[in-house]
Amino acid sequence: MASDPVTTKPVLEIRDLALAIGGARVVDGVSCAVAPGEVLALVGESGCGKSLTALAAMRLLPRAATLAGGEVLLDGENLVALPEQRMRALRGRRITMIFQEPLAALDPLSSVGTQVAEATGLSGAAARGAVLAMLAEVGISDPARRIRQYPFELSGGMAQRVMIATALISRPAVLIADEPTTALDVTIQAQILDLLRRLAADRGTAIMLITHDMGVVADIADRVTVMYAGRIAETGPTVELFAEPRHPYTALLLAALPRLSDAPKAPLAVIRGQVPLPQAFSAACRFADRCPLADERCRAEQPPLREVGKGRLSACWHAERVR
């Protein structure tokens, strides 16, 4: 288990990040932090803005999205204010990212070795040596043969290992993993998550894991930040959050997880309703329509993110009443 997050200085800190697409703020007031060696999970339904947040940290936002405010501090340096040349020096070396579909994230016409080597900034024999060593470390057998292969010759799990190798080869301070196991078989999922956790612990890399799967969160995250409709709902250490959620959305997410202890043929728990579209955002709490605890106040005013325990924050007027 990672060290106490409250006292260890975070290596990556996102403060009040706001992103806009068109006129609407699709990410608003998002703040989180990760300490070295720690795994923070950023969890939420698709469309809640978690991937955009990750891309913003890498300064790889799509054309349509613009930064509307906030900071991203890497070792104290504000990434959003840097000139592109400086950011480029940091990308792939100090802060790296892996993506959801590993086979799509590799150039189909370039060999595996070439692409991993690009993350080192080296060339020739030095690059080859580093690549071989790293491929072995992520559990790829016969790396000398794999180096010459093309992406289409790899399985999904193998490709994701290659991506991890690429991301960690230059010993970055932060690794952002955007749904790294969603496109993989369940059995491979576990292996990849294990690999990530082990490498992070060994190298002291901070991992920000983006996912929609609470099961994955339970597996390797030390701390969790739950996002809903572009805002943070709740954040806190995994074990405590799972045991005692302090936001109705988190509670419903947990309730929706199927468990072995459920009666067979029991209907799956569902959160009724749908995530609101950015155009429909108003001054009210964005979860109000689907929330079993919602009242007048919730529909009138957005709850601020406030402390509801040690290392725990929640954006809910009724945080204490949850579960």
CB of 213 to other proteins, least distance (A): 20
Taking CB under 8 A as the rule, does residue 244 contact other proteins? Answer: no
Q: Binding residues for other proteins, how many (CB under 8 A)?
A: 31
Could you give the string, one character per residue 72-91, with x where binding to other proteins holds by CB under 8 A and - elsewhere? ----------------xx-x
Taking CB under 8 A as the rule, does residue 130 contact other proteins? Answer: no
Taking CB under 8 A as the rule, does residue 118 contact other proteins? Answer: yes
Site for other proteins in 145-184 (CB under 8 A): 150, 152-153, 163, 166-167
Taking CB under 8 A as the rule, does residue 272 contact other proteins? Answer: no
For other proteins, which stretch binds (CB under 8 A), given 108-116, 208-216, 256-264, 288-296?
108-116
Cβ proximity to other proteins: between 192 and 271 the closer is 192
Cβ proximity to other proteins: between 115 and 238 the closer is 115
- The residue within the footprint of other proteins, chosen from 27, 35, 72, 97 (CB under 8 A), is 97
Q: What is the 3 state secondary structure string of the chain?
A: CCCCCCCCCCCEEEEEEEEEECCEEEEEEEEEEECCCCEEEEECCCCCCHHHHHHHHHCCCCCCEEEEEEEEEECCEEHHHCCHHHHHHHECCCEEEECCCCCCCCCCCCCHHHHHHHCCCCCHHHHHHHHHHHHHHCCCCCHHHHHCCCHHHCCHHHHHHHHHHHHHCCCCCEEEEECCCCCCCHHHHHHHHHHHHHHHHHHCCEEEEEECCHHHHHHHCCEEEEEECCEEEEEEEHHHHHHCCCCHHHHHHHHHCCCCCCCCCCCCCCCCCCCCCHHHCCCCCCCHHHCCCCCHHHHHCCCCCEEEECCEEECCCCHHHCC
Cβ proximity to other proteins: between 150 and 281 the closer is 150
Taking CB under 8 A as the rule, does residue 210 contact other proteins? Answer: no
Taking CB under 8 A as the rule, does residue 108 contact other proteins? Answer: yes
Taking CB under 8 A as the rule, does residue 208 contact other proteins? Answer: no
CB of 157 to other proteins, least distance (A): 17
Taking CB under 8 A as the rule, does residue 63 contact other proteins? Answer: yes
CB of 122 to other proteins, least distance (A): 12
In our burial notation (b when 16+ CB lie closer than 10 A, e otherwise), range 131-143 reads: bbebbebbbbeeb
CB atoms within 10 A of CB 270: 9
Taking CB under 8 A as the rule, does residue 58 contact other proteins? Answer: yes
- The residue within the footprint of other proteins, chosen from 26, 119, 138, 184 (CB under 8 A), is 119
- The residue within the footprint of other proteins, chosen from 37, 44, 70, 96 (CB under 8 A), is 96
Cβ proximity to other proteins: between 8 and 114 the closer is 114
Q: How far apart are CA 144 and CA 159, in angstroms?
A: 15
Q: In the complex, which residues of this chain contact other proteins (CB under 8 A)?
A: 55, 58, 60, 63, 88-89, 91-93, 96-99, 101, 104-110, 115, 118-119, 121, 150, 152-153, 163, 166-167
